[in-house]
Amino acid sequence: MGIQVTELTEMQREIVSTVRSFIEKDVIPVADEMEHKDEFPEAIVEQMKEMGLFGLNIPEEYGGIGESLTTYALCVVELARGWMSLSGVLNTHFMGNYLIGKFGTDEQKEKYLPKMATGEIRAALAMSEPEAGSDVQAIRTKAIKDGDDYVINGQKMWLTNGLRSGIVMTLVKTNTEIDPPHKGMSMLIVEKEAGVAKPSPGLDVGKNIEKMGYKGVETTEMTFSDYRCPTSQLLGTEEGKGFRQVLDGIEIGRVNVAARAVGVSTRAFEEAIKYSQERKAFGKPICEHQAIQMHIADMGTKLEAARLMLMQAAAKKDAGERSDLEAGMAKLFASEACHDITLAALRVHGGYGYSKEFTVERLYRDAPFLLIGEGTSEIQKQVIARRLLEKYKI
Ligand SMILES: Cc1cc2nc3c(=O)[nH]c(=O)nc-3n(C[C@H](O)[C@H](O)[C@H](O)COP(=O)(O)OP(=O)(O)OC[C@H]3O[C@@H](n4cnc5c(N)ncnc54)[C@H](O)[C@@H]3O)c2cc1C
């Protein structure tokens, strides 16, 4: 059961069906094993490049497919249904495409977008730090101008794709005196050699952070020690725009997380409803026990609601309308629903759900990340409440 493909364009149907077949044939048979080995899916990522997925949202003039956020969301659902880590390889790259496409200079677009469209250059996003996650304005990494360079000092944390990326969209403070602090924040396009732990003097990617789930894709630290970055690498032309730029990018990231949640939930639902008809207890398939039917009803209903909220948020952004409320709601609801659905799927499997031989064990470990990434549920609720109070002000 995937997203309903009615009311989609011919192109969208074709893309989604290609990704779905690829997931069925090349990903599902190997995903559990690769996840348990914490192995980067090199060959699968090569296939994703060939399918054009890295350039899905890049305009055709720069070698991309020029598709909408809705198409992207549909593809992420399919990828996460196979293995959530694949959508992680794409997410920070997609935000990089979006940020350079929307805020970059013509030179930056010409330099990076064609190579990003093919996946030759992949992007990571460095916003979080060891002591600043939700509180973005509290970041400490500084970039101070010295001639034609910025000299960067500081430490970044939790970089998905930190090692294998060729550029890192890095949020820094170019002015540490200004109040409010966000006015002193800028985004730099830090270039580095992909796959190298110490790519140049003053830049250190650091170790891979071991995680409970979301394996295969690396998550790293990154330390800057008097690292020199040319001033031409400032995203756009003006300093002080980084906070707004990153918030804009995160709106896309929230749609991505909601889509991953729908993908993981879809798979958990499929696994559970199948198993419930196969497993027998007390002389009948467990799906004939009312308690299991309650799980099935709850799972199916939450999944359907999450899917509709996701499509609504993506459609609003595609229409050029303000969509922070819808993106926040979709992210909050879909990720919480995914947590509930994966737990219910595990319960339906009984003891086997706790065994690494069954896929629901992996889905259950992947789900909690969605409650945290691109803004925790607590922060999501604040964003939603603030917007609702603004909208319904008396
Ligand atoms: C696997 C993984 C991959 C990641 N990838 C990236 C990446 O590629 N790039 C990147 O920049 N970051 C990345 N992150 C970081 C992620 O965005 C942060 O972990 C997240 O924003 C939360 O920040 P924090 O971990 O510092 O938690 P904190 O901000 O310290 O929050 C701790 C707790 O306090 C709560 N809290 C904080 N402030 C408030 C408040 N005002 N009101 C109520 N509750 C509050 C939070 O909800 C949470 O429950 C990744 C994280 C993980 C785990």
Ligand 1 midpoint to CA 129 (Å):
10
Q: Rounded to the nearest 5°, which phi and psi values hold at 228? A: -100, 125
CATH 1.10.540.10 boundaries in the chain: 10-118
Which residues, in sequence order, are bridge partners of residue 142? 153, 173
Q: What mean pLDDT comes out for the span 188-214? A: 96
Beta strands in the chain (DSSP E): 123-126, 142-146, 149-160, 167-173, 185-191, 203-204, 219-230, 280-281, 284-285
280, 286 contact by CB (below 8 A): yes
Specify burial of residue 306 (Cβ count, 10 A radius: 0-12, 13-18, 19+). buried
| Residue in 84, 134, 163, 260 to alter for ligand 1 test, most ligand atoms within 8 A of Cβ | 134
What is the tens place of the pLDDT at every residue in 313-353? Answer: 999 989 988 889 999 999 999 999 999 999 999 999 999 99
> Is beta strand 123-126 parallel, antiparallel or unpaired with respect to 167-173?
parallel
CATH 2.40.110.10 boundaries in the chain: 123-240
Catalytic residues: 374
Q: What average pLDDT is seen over the chain?
A: 96
Predicted confidence at residue 286, as pLDDT, reads 98
Q: For residue 126, which atom of ligand 1 is closest to its CA?
A: 11
Neighbours of 357 (CB within 10 A): 7
Q: What mean pLDDT comes out for the span 122-137? A: 96
* Angle at CA of residue 377, ends 374 and 380, nearest 5°: 70
Q: For residue 211, which atom of ligand 1 is closest to its CA?
A: 1
96: its two tokens: 């990089």
212 secondary structure, DSSP code: S
- Cα 24 to Cα 33: distance, rounded to the nearest angstrom: 15
| Residue in 90, 94, 157, 158 to alter for ligand 1 test, most ligand atoms within 8 A of Cβ | 158
115, 121 contact by CB (below 8 A): yes
Q: Taking the mean position of all CA atoms in its chain, how far away is CA 392?
A: 31
Which residues, in sequence order, are bridge partners of residue 189? 169
84-103 helix and 69-82 helix, angle to the nearest 10 degrees: 160
In CATH, which superfamily holds the domain spanning 244-391?
Butyryl-CoA Dehydrogenase, subunit A, domain 3 (1.20.140.10)
Question: Closest residue (by CA) to atom 44 of ligand 1?
Answer: 378
89: its two tokens: 């390889």
- Cα 248 to Cα 362: distance, rounded to the nearest angstrom: 31
| Residue in 370, 376, 377, 386 to alter for ligand 1 test, most ligand atoms within 8 A of Cβ | 376
CATH 1.20.140.10 boundaries in the chain: 244-391
Q: For residue 134, which atom of ligand 1 is closest to its CA?
A: 29
pLDDT at 207 over 90: no
Predicted confidence at residue 251, as pLDDT, reads 87
Sign of CA dihedral 315, 321, 327, 330: negative
Percent of the chain at pLDDT > 90 equals: 94
pLDDT at 1 over 70: no
Give this prediction's pTM.
Answer: 0.96
Contact residues for 219 (Cβ-Cβ < 8 A; gap 6+): 158, 159, 160, 162, 208, 209, 211
pLDDT at 6 over 70: no
Q: For residue 377, which atom of ligand 1 is closest to its CA?
A: 47
Ligand 1 midpoint to CA 374 (Å):
8
Q: For residue 91, which atom of ligand 1 is closest to its CA?
A: 8
What is the tens place of the pLDDT at every residue in 29-42? Answer: 999 999 999 999 99
Amino acid present at 148: D
Sign of CA dihedral 188, 189, 195, 198: negative
Predicted confidence at residue 5, as pLDDT, reads 39
Please check whether the domain covering 123-240 is classified as CATH 3.20.130.10. Answer: no
246: its two tokens: 């990153």
Question: Closest residue (by CA) to atom 27 of ligand 1?
Answer: 133
As for ligand 1, residues whose beta carbon falls within 6 Å of it are 92, 125-128, 133-135, 158-160, 211, 214, 219, 369, 372-373, 375-376, 378-379
Question: Closest residue (by CA) to atom 2 of ligand 1?
Answer: 158
Ligand 1 midpoint to CA 13 (Å):
35
Predicted confidence at residue 7, as pLDDT, reads 78
Ligand 1 midpoint to CA 386 (Å):
19
pLDDT at 143 over 60: yes
- Cα 47 to Cα 115: distance, rounded to the nearest angstrom: 16
CA torsion 258→260→264→265, rounded to 10°?
A: 20
162: its two tokens: 């930190």
Predicted confidence at residue 3, as pLDDT, reads 45
Question: Which CATH architecture does the domain made up of 10-118 adopt?
Answer: Orthogonal Bundle (1.10)
Ligand 1 midpoint to CA 209 (Å):
15
Ligand 1 midpoint to CA 215 (Å):
18
Element (H, E) at 64: none
Q: What mean pLDDT comes out for the span 62-83? A: 97
